[in-house]
Chain A
Amino acid sequence: MMRARQYSSRAGIVAAGVTICCLALVTSDAAAQTNERIYEDLDFRFVTPGARAVGMGKTFVGLADDATAAESNPAGMSNLLEQEFSVEFIGTQIKHKRFIPGGTPPTQTFGEYVTTPSFLSYVLPLKRLTASFYRHTVQDYRESFGFAERALPGGDSNFEDGAFGTIVAESENQGISGAFVVHPRLSIGGSWAYSTLSLSTRARSASPEVRGDVIIESNPRNGTDTIDADSAQSLVVGVLFKPLRTLSVGATYHKRTTFQVDTTLFGSFLRTRVIGDPSTRESVVRTGDRFTIDYVMPSRWAVGTSWRALPTFTVLADLSRINYSERITDRFLIVDFQDPDAGLIKDEETRVCKQPCNFSISDVFEAHVGAEFRWYRPKFTMAFRGGVFSDPDHPLRFQSGGNNLEHPADPILNFRFNTQQPQTHYGFTAGWGLALKNFVQVDTALSIGDDATEVVVSTVIRIR
């Protein structure tokens, strides 16, 4: 799932197109993770910075009129006449629904509560130019999960392994951004960030012992351990166009960011000594084998609009596209069923997915709609906000084809990754804000979705 935030504009579409083309030239090679269950349907937190935006259904692409625009839509920083400083804190209850093969119910929710100082920025207007420094927590994900093995339906002797694991993924952007007023109706902007990833995972296929409702992390069969960090560059470009005084349209493009981390295999893996002869299948200990995998923040683009229907009332809508398919790269490591006889890997040396890969992730569209009502008083302004957003699943899927259909990998992976059909979930947001003397603005927001509940508090201080 993703709560991204992207932005677009109308006259800016041409500029955005040009920019996107330019970015395509500098896009780095693809990246991927593994086909372990720990990475399936992994959530990124492309949350729009600022409680104000979150309160309005996580829309901001077409408005972007405060210091959080540095990440949301850099072009929007041209709306600022004064220096601004913003800081945001977010508390997230992660609710990751994992498919439990044969279980009742078929899904189980995992996740932890995470509190993060998630955004900080300083914006400095300089005539037609605007400069900004910011720090943004793109991902702060923590989850521990576990479930027992079960027999596959249909009376087959195959078993679907149980699994358990822990993942802690933290990614931050520390960057600079700029905006420029090209025309009284058009602004363009961009951000460059030094991105860091700290990833710690332990994933196991296993036959864990079950005591009552408690899964004991035991009897591991195989898996991976990843404790690594990496850095990369990330880019955002945006445009904001105002065809009317009450209407603005924005667009943004976030370039894919790829980190490379090392992972180490653990345990014994199935291997067919003589290809095509099931009688030669054996267990081979692979502990210590080391591979470099990709960890991808997918690229995404968005268009959005805001319409000030009344002096006190603004309606916003964003549409964003997240290219989750980019997570399947040429370094996508096959951990489960790296047996050459299964026909899933390119070769035994790299053990990456053969091309075309049997694994895929679908790109998704997200829609965001929100509104803000402002109550103006001489010494303060109060705002009430609300919104809804869609949140489509984006699970890892297995596709038969080119692999050995007689190998047990095919029915097991089909069952594991294709039984549960992806759905589109909907979330709701509400927010409240108070601006005192146009000097300090404090906003709060609550977002309730199927995969996370978030409480956001942010403040914007204008410096004169």
Chain B
Amino acid sequence: MINVLADFGRAGIRAVGGLGRASVLLTAMLAGLWELIRRPRLLLEQVYSVGTLTMIIIAVSGLFVGMALALQGFYILSQFGAEATLGVMVAAALVRELGPVLTALLFAGRAGSALTAEIGLMKATEQLAGLEMMAVNPVRRVLTPRLFAGVLALPLLAALFSALGVLGGWYVGVGLLGVDDGTFWAQMQAKVDWYEDIINGLIKSLAFGFACTWIAVYQGYDCVPTSEGVSRATTRTVVHSALAVLGLNVMLTALMFGN
């Protein structure tokens, strides 16, 4: 009985301790922003690895998600004779919810896990300690560019996802199911608002990008420096990122569209 209680307490202390270490790491990374501005090359390299290399999977997923949405939406809307609103349904669902959320989940799986594994291996092979020996701050040199690359890349990836999703929905709706081309776009433009829908979606994906990269970088930096520790940290990155994204999404949706 006492043991169970003690285990519970230990788990709580570990969770709070992890949050504290993550916050300290975040302040240390933000302190490196000035160095990053002076050396934008570091940022560009990281944008390539988290952004450009993730682009293909995001583009293909967006296309497929848009197509599936249009097929399902058409099935339900046609029962009410409201096929004309198919465009609104596809576009609103994508820019408000599916674009930011699915992009963040894919990002966590594709780029977040890679970040954790990379930083964890750097730690395991004592490259981070080596940098410190050369009087280079490893947090500022290695972690800061990765954090900002993720924050920068995710909104662009989410925009790509939504845009291709709309095109996929358009192809299925107009091309295959015979919805009128004009009404598809006209209804969409009439109902989807630039500030209300698209800017809010971008704000969401900024928040998700920040959360995902922060978790990935922290897990890599904080992992046990063995091969098993790195693999555990990589798993934790994906699980924690997915939970953080979905939880944040509920809160942000309630704040943005809740009234």
A binds B: no
- Which A residues contact B (CB, under 8 angstroms)? none
- Which B residues contact A (CB, under 8 angstroms)? none
